[in-house]
Structure 1
Amino acid sequence: MRYPVIVHKDTGTDYGLIVPDFPGVFSGGSTLDEALANVQDAIETFYEGEEVDVLPDPSPLESILASEDAAGGAVVLLDVNFDFLDKKAVPVNITLPRYVRNRIDRAAKARGLTRSAYLAKAALAYV
C-alpha cells in the first residue's frame, strides 16, 4: 500500500521523514534513498509485538499537503510492505548435517520448544 511521507531537509542536515498515518513514526538518513528505505524498518518497529487486524487507510494527499507538518517540506508516496505482519506458519525445507539437527533437537527439548519454534527464535535473534 502506498502511504504519504513528509520529507524535510535543511541545509547541512540529514533528511527527516514523518509518516502521518502511523503516529510517532519517523525516519531519517543522510540521503533521501536511505531515509526512504528506513521508513519500512520504522513501521515494522511501530507494529512489533502487536496483533493487527486492520491497517490504516492512506490519508488523502490533499489533507497531508494542507497539514502543518508538511509546511516547508515535500510529500512523496511510499510503498509499504506489510508481509512482516503475516503470522501464518508455512513449511520450510532445510538441509542440515545430522549432528547439527540432533544438537538443535536437544537444545529445543531442554527449553520445552519444538524444533521449529527453536529455529524460529534463533533466526529472529540473529536477524
Structure 2
Amino acid sequence: MARYIAILDIDDEAVGAEIPDCPGCTAMGRDEDEAVQAITEALREWMADRIADGVAPPVPRSIKMLDRAGFLSGTPGSPAVFASIPLLLDESRLVRANISLDAGFLKTIDQEAKLRGLTRSAFLTSAAREKISAGR
C-alpha cells in the first residue's frame, strides 16, 4: 500500500494539511487528528479522480526527498509536523472473503453494526479503514 507524506500547518485556530506529491490535495481540521482524517479522505478522492481520468498515481516521495525539493522550509520557529497517509482506494468491486471470528465477538460486531445502520461487511470495512488510517 502506498503512503504519502502530508505536511501539517498548525496554528491556534485550525490545522491545515497538504500532500506535496498530489498538487491541490489539501484538507483542514480543528486539530491534528481531524486534519489527518480529512487529508486521508481527500487523498482517496483526489487519487480516484486522477485514476478516473486515466492518469497514474504519482510516486510518493520520502521526507528527505521532499526536504531536498524545498517543501519543508516552513515558517521559522514553527515545528515541521508530518503524517504518513495511506492511499485507501476503492475498486467498486465486491469480493467475497471467508474469515473466522469468535462467536461472541461476531455477535458484538453485528450489534454494533445494527446500531449504526450498517451491514456487517460495511462495519468491518469501516473499522479496518479507520485502523489502517491511524497508522502503525
**Identity over aligned pairs, percent:** 20
2:10 partner amino acid: K
Q: Distance in 1 between matches of 2:20 and 2:65?
A: 10
Q: For residue 8 of structure 2, give the secondary structure of its aligned residue in structure 1.
A: strand
Q: TM-score, normalising length from structure 2?
A: 0.53
Alignment of structure 1 residues 73-112 onto 2, 5 Å: 73-83=80-90, 86-88=91-93, 90=94
Corresponding residue pairs, total? 88
1:24 partner amino acid: G
Contact 2:40 2:85 (8 Å CA) reproduced: no
Q: Distance in 2 between matches of 1:91 and 1:69?
A: 40
Q: Distance in 2 between matches of 1:79 and 1:91?
A: 21
Once the two structures are superposed, residues 12-37 of structure 1 have per-residue CA deviations (whole angstroms, 9 ceiling, x without a partner) of 22001110111110011001111000
Shift of 1:87: 3.9
Q: Is 2:34 the counterpart of 1:34? A: yes
Alignment of structure 1 residues 1-127 onto 2, 5 Å: 1-10=2-11, 12-46=12-46, 47-48=48-49, 50-52=52-54, 54-72=56-74, 73-83=80-90, 86-88=91-93, 90=94
Q: Relative to 1, partners in 2 of residues 1:35 and 1:22: Cα closer, same or farther, differing over 3 Å?
A: same
Shift of 1:57: 1.5
Shift of 1:51: 4.2
- Structure 2, unaligned stretches of length 5 or more? 75-79, 97-136
1:82 partner amino acid: L
Q: Relative to 1, partners in 2 of residues 1:22 and 1:3: Cα closer, same or farther, differing over 3 Å?
A: same
Residue matched to 1:108: none
Q: Distance in 2 between matches of 1:14 and 1:52?
A: 34
Structure 1 or 2, whichever has the larger Rg, is 1
Give the root-mean-square deviation of aligned CA atoms. Answer: 2.5
Q: TM-score, normalising length from structure 1?
A: 0.57
- Structure 1, unaligned stretches of length 5 or more? 93-127
Q: Distance in 2 between matches of 1:53 and 1:23?
A: 14
Q: Relative to 1, partners in 2 of residues 1:44 and 1:58: Cα closer, same or farther, differing over 3 Å?
A: same
Shift of 1:42: 1.1
